[in-house]
């Protein structure tokens, strides 16, 4: 009996309609160069379809379309109507949930049970959350000391044309994270998808059209980083760029955006510590540690890739992890029983394979996995390295794959040492803490230099809760009311009533 999901007819139609075009000004257009590139199924390495490749001229066209919308129809849409449009989009996504889930699974490789249960519902919920904010962003009246004849108030105005560059690890969800707050606050958007996963956002663009957003409010470009991405970052009339991706590219973007002092928000890499104290509830901590690193094949910026386990329980904990993890079912994403899929691309496969070798070379012991699978597609099995030292490459560098480095620690009452080791990383995106002692949990949570701490849980997200980095994991907060800051600017108005 086949457990492979039946391909949704809408997905079939979408994939069979020839090279996918760019979404600019409410139209589907070919790129000016006419060039296309392939997007592949990571479980086989075969081409799914082709997409047109945007370059600088296409970014220029998208900016013009966006400006036209900003000065024209979008300016007349009231906050309440904006909220309704965003809510309508969420409703349409619900109607098309299976197609969206399948497209992300096909394009990225991730298991269909995850796209159905996490990526798509979280993306829908994200839009609903920001639909509510559309009517709740406002300025204030400020009492001033100049005199009672002076009336002062503020307005929160949209930034204008915003550029958004997203990665391939959660293609639809990252588009939602970027679009939700930007649209709720009245901006217009030029969004570039990752070259590995252009499909679900293009499908989403059809729903954006159907929801009734004015032409040009959202423009979606498929293309590569240095060309289309670079053009967004350097465009003089794009006033803000929001980026999610590697720290390396984040630095480049910040430098380039300085050319015209574009506002920048960056959500970058991580090497997140996940700390298991001996008093933890292991029935939760073991699956939690596994989820922390193997969710989405480990291709998660906040993956719990440095697992600190107290010396007293280290051996047993790792043995139990291995026996659980050994049962994780790996296979093509469309198989409904698959729990872990392939990596996204051959490039990512090579990168993770490099770290598997590096770990062994430097003396770490792979007690589970450790070798890429010899089969078509980009499969790397869940891998646990024991006998790891803090100075090893696999502890210092972000691998972005299903590879965890397990490090013992031996603090007794003093927990300063494990916190110091956790904080040595230049990254500071997230951390996990497993303990039944609430006092210890709070203390550790306060001392970790990271933007998110999960206590007795991991990889939990909600549209209302801010997410973003400390240190070289970036700055700016997405989600919650915090993201509204990224997409509004404050105007102070003085009225002399004297
Ligand atoms: P990864 O290495 O995991 O692919 P990247 O940071 O390279 O992560 O990519 C994340 C996103 O940034 C993608 O959309 C990619 O096309 C884009 N990107 C890559 N390089 C640049 C660049 N120089 N300028 C702008 N965007 C870029």
Task: Report the alpha-carbon distance of residue 166 to residue 449 in Å, rounded.
Answer: 25
Among 263, 216, 221, which residue's Cα sits nearest to residue 239? 263
Tokens standing for residue 313: 């329980």
Q: Is the CB of 335 under 6 A from ligand 1?
A: no
Lookup result for tokens 């990526």: 119
Q: Is the CB of 252 under 6 A from ligand 1?
A: yes
Span from the CA of 225 to the centroid of ligand 1 (angstroms): 5
Among 461, 373, 491, 410, which residue's Cα sits nearest to residue 173? 461
Point out the ligand 1 atom lying closest to the alpha carbon of residue 249.
Answer: 6
Q: Are 385 and 359 in contact (CB under 8 A)?
A: yes
51, 54, 164, 165: residue to mutate for ligand 1 pocket, most atoms within 8 A of CB:
165
Q: Which residues contact 349 (CB under 8 A, 6 or more apart)?
A: 342, 343, 372, 378, 380
245, 251, 354, 469: residue to mutate for ligand 1 pocket, most atoms within 8 A of CB:
245
* Count of all residues that appear for the chain in the document: 498
Sort 148 into a burial class: Cβ within 10 Å, 0-12 / 13-18 / 19+.
exposed
Average pLDDT per 10 consecutive residues for the chain, totaling 498 residues? 93 96 98 98 98 98 98 97 98 98 98 98 98 98 96 98 98 98 98 98 98 98 98 98 98 98 98 97 98 98 98 97 96 98 98 98 98 96 96 98 97 82 97 97 97 98 98 98 98 97
Tokens standing for residue 392: 């090893």
Q: Are 153 and 491 in contact (CB under 8 A)?
A: no
Task: Report the alpha-carbon distance of residue 62 to residue 190 in Å, rounded.
Answer: 6
Span from the CA of 77 to the centroid of ligand 1 (angstroms): 33
Task: Report the alpha-carbon distance of residue 448 to residue 446 in Å, rounded.
Answer: 6
- Per-residue HEC secondary structure of 113-179 comes to HHHHHHHHHHHHHHHHHHHHHCCCCCCCEECCCCCCCEEEEEEEEECCEEEEECCCCCHHHHHHHHH
Among 57, 58, 55, 82, which residue's Cα sits nearest to residue 69? 82
Among 292, 257, 332, which residue's Cα sits nearest to residue 453? 292
Task: Report the alpha-carbon distance of residue 267 to residue 470 in Å, rounded.
Answer: 10
Q: Are 43 and 102 in contact (CB under 8 A)?
A: no
Among the options 114, 267, 398, 478, which is catalytic?
A: 267
Find the largest Cα–Cα distance for the chain.
82
CB atoms within 10 A of CB 143: 8
360, β-bridge pairs: none
Task: Report the alpha-carbon distance of residue 121 to residue 280 in Å, rounded.
Answer: 31
Lookup result for tokens 């006998």: 387
- What are the helix (H) ranges across 228-334? 230-234, 247-257, 282-294, 311-325
Point out the ligand 1 atom lying closest to the alpha carbon of residue 192.
Answer: 14
Q: Encode 333-357: b = buried (16+ Cβ within 10 Å), e = exposed.
A: bbbeebbbbbbbbeebbebbbebbe
Among 370, 279, 282, which residue's Cα sits nearest to residue 318? 282
Span from the CA of 47 to the centroid of ligand 1 (angstroms): 21
Span from the CA of 19 to the centroid of ligand 1 (angstroms): 22
- Helix 79-95 with 120-133: angle, nearest 10 deg: 170
pTM: 0.98
Tokens standing for residue 364: 């770490």
**Rounded-to-10 torsion of CA 140, 145, 146, 148:** 70
Q: Where are the beta strands (DSSP E) in 238-393?
A: 240-244, 263-267, 273-276, 306-310, 365-368, 383-386
């Amino acid at each position: 009996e086949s457990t492979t999901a039946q391909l949704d007819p809408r997905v079939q139609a979408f994939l069979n309609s020839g090279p996918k075009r760019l979404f600019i000004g409410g139209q589907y257009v070919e790129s000016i160069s006419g060039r296309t590139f392939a997007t592949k199924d990571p479980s086989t390495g075969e081409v799914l379809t082709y997409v047109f490749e945007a370059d600088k001229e296409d970014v220029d066209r998208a900016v013009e379309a966006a400006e036209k919308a900003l000065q024209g129809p979008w300016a007349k849409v009231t906050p309440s109507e904006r909220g309704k449009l965003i809510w309508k989009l969420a409703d349409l996504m619900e109607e098309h949930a299976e197609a969206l889930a399948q497209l992300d699974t096909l394009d990225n490789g991730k298991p269909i049970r995850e796209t159905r249960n996490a990526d798509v519902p979280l993306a829908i919920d994200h839009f609903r959350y920001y639909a509510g904010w559309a009517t709740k962003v406002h300025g204030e009246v400020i009492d001033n000391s100049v005199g009672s004849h002076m009336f002062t108030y503020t307005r929160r105005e949209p930034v204008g044309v915003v550029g958004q560059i997203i990665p391939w690890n959660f293609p639809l969800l990252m588009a939602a994270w970027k679009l939700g707050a930007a649209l709720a606050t009245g901006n217009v958007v030029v969004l570039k998808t990752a070259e590995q996963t252009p499909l679900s956002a293009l499908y989403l663009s059809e729903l954006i059209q159907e929801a009734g957003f004015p032409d040009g409010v959202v423009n979606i470009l498929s293309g590569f980083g240095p060309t289309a991405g670079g053009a967004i970052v350097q465009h003089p009339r794009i006033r803000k760029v929001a980026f999610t991706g590697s720290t390396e590219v984040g630095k480049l973007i910040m430098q380039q955006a300085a050319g015209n002092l574009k506002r920048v928000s960056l959500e970058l890499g991580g090497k997140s510590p996940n700390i298991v104290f001996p008093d933890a509830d292991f029935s939760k901590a073991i699956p939690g540690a596994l989820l922390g690193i193997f969710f989405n094949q480990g291709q998660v910026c906040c993956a719990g890739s440095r697992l600190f386990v107290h010396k007293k329980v280290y051996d047993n904990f790792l043995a139990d992890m291995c026996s659980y993890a050994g049962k994780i079912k790996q296979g093509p994403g469309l198989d409904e029983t698959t729990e872990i899929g392939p990596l996204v691309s051959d490039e990512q496969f090579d990168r993770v394979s490099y770290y598997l070798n590096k770990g062994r070379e430097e003396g770490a012991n792979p007690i589970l996995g450790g070798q890429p699978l010899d089969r078509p597609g980009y499969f790397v099995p869940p891998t646990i390295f024991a006998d790891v030292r803090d100075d090893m490459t696999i502890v210092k560098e972000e691998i972005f794959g299903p590879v965890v480095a397990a490090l013992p620690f031996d603090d007794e009452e003093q927990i300063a040492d494990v916190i110091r080791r956790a904080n040595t990383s230049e990254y500071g995106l997230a951390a996990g803490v497993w303990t039944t002692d609430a006092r210890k949990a709070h203390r550790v949570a306060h001392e970790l230099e990271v933007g998110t701490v999960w206590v007795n849980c991991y990889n939990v997200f909600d549209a209302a809760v801010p997410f973003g980095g400390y240190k070289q994991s970036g700055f700016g907060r997405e989600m919650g009311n915090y993201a509204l800051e990224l997409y509004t600017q404050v105007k102070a108005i003085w009225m002399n009533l004297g």
